[in-house]
Amino acid sequence: MADTPGIGAGRATHAPAVDVREGVPGGLDAGIGSRVDGTVSVHLVRLLLQTARRLGVAEEQLARVPGTDAVVLRGELNRLPMSSLLRLWELIARPGAGVAVAEAAPLGALNTWDYLVTTGATLVDSLRAAQPYHRLVTAAAEGFDLSGEADLTVGYRTSASDPVVASTVNEYVLAYYLRRAREATGRPLVPTKVTFGHPAPPDHRLLTDVFGTRAIEFGAAADSITFHADDANAPLPRADPMLADLMRSHADLVLASSRTVADPLDAFRIALTSALDTADPTLARVAKALAMSERSLQRHLADHGTSWRAELDSLRYERAKLLLSQGLPKSAVARRLAFTDDRALRKAVHRWTAASEATA
């Protein structure tokens, strides 16, 4: 959804946009965008799941959201479909939910992104340097806008079409940026203006309390939060140029190494790989990791034109080629791949070789 803290990146604001694309590392956009477009990080998904549970959303509803099983969420480099994030927003959409998500997101909750937006020389410098990396959290097409020559306005747009969902997302994003701005500056700063595209709710005292101001406009042309020039340009107590450079380098690496979990079969393969890593690639273990019965898992694989045996055999084959090429003795490879003994591995290698030759 947003572009920065992971939701929609705003509707365009009317103030002149700040060009923050200068100096973007050459490799950042090349070849990465197509792979991570339309996906979001597991950090944001975990944050919404935690809030959904606190708000009482039923576990069976959450379990039906693709990519929310524990084995996928443990992978820091996994990327989930934007549709999964939108579904979670739909499940929690209600007055105050957006603010609740922001309140549940201490510094570090969104991992690298949080430190990118808080370790620059000033707040505006931090946001400018971080903007090209918004894909760390959400899809490239949903980038956020920075505008203003004196005061700093952060604007965004959300791809959520449902008005209630959109308003929940909007409130989260603005509350998120206010929280990070306060953490970065070390002071309880108050925005000069907050605007929402959605109509005013019957009671918006919660928003007044959260943003610390009555200068909140509803039904506006853009969703935005504006910081006074003194706050936007004040030196940050936590400014750390070396850490900021390190975070950008790490962001490049994360984006280049991310793995898209596009469908349930991807989740299964992640769980199977994890099980093989511990030399326990059993149907029971993988089914439990995916919160499925063994029969349901086998039926799921059949629906995708594959089977447990075929998937395990394929993964073992790829691992065996790698380990044997590294010079590991067959006994060690057999143990790592959970074969009963060397003989079983040799039989498998013979079968794989014969199959490979037959299809050559």
Q: What is the pLDDT of residues 291-332, one digit of tens each?
A: 789 999 999 899 889 999 999 999 999 999 999 999 999 999
Predicted structure pTM score: 0.77
On whether the CB atoms of residues 11 and 222 are closer than 8 A, the answer is yes
Selection from 104, 103, 130 nearest residue 236 by Cα:
130
Other beta carbons less than 10 A from residue 16's beta carbon: 9
238 membership: H or E segment, kind and range: none
For residue range 164-187, list pLDDT tens digits in order.
999 999 999 999 999 999 999 999
Q: How far apart are the first and last CA of the chain?
A: 45
Is residue 324 within 8 Å of 334, Cβ to Cβ? no
Q: Are 48 and 273 in contact, with CB atoms under 8 Å apart?
A: no
Q: What is the pLDDT of residue 260?
A: 85
What is the average pLDDT score of the chain?
86
DSSP 304-328: TT--HHHHHHHHHHHHHHHHHHTT-
Band (359; pLDDT cuts 50, 70, 90): low
How wide is the angle at C-alpha 196 spanned by C-alphas 191 and 202, nearest 5°?
105
Has residue 31 got a pLDDT over 90?
no
Q: Which two tokens stand for residue 174?
A: 């603005």
Distance CA 231, CA 235 (A): 9
Task: Provide the pLDDT for residue 357.
Answer: 66
Distance CA 72, CA 84 (A): 13
pLDDT at 289: 83
Which of 149-153, 158-162, 172-176, 229-233 is predicted least confidently?
158-162
Q: Residue 264's pLDDT is what?
A: 76
**What span, in angstroms and rounded, lies between the C-alpha atoms of 240 and 125?**
12
Going by pLDDT thresholds of 50, 70 and 90, the confidence category of residue 57 is very high
Q: Which residue has the tokens 């950008």?
A: 248
Q: Which residues pair with 79 in a beta bridge?
A: 41, 260
Strand spans (E) along the chain: 39-41, 78-81, 145-147, 152-156, 193-195, 216-217, 223-227, 259-260
Q: How confident is the model at residue 34 (pLDDT cuts 50, 70, 90)?
A: low
- Which range among 49-58, 176-185, 210-219, 273-282 shows the weakest confidence by mean pLDDT? 273-282
| 229 token code pair | 């020039």
User: What pLDDT is attached to residue 186?
Assistant: 93
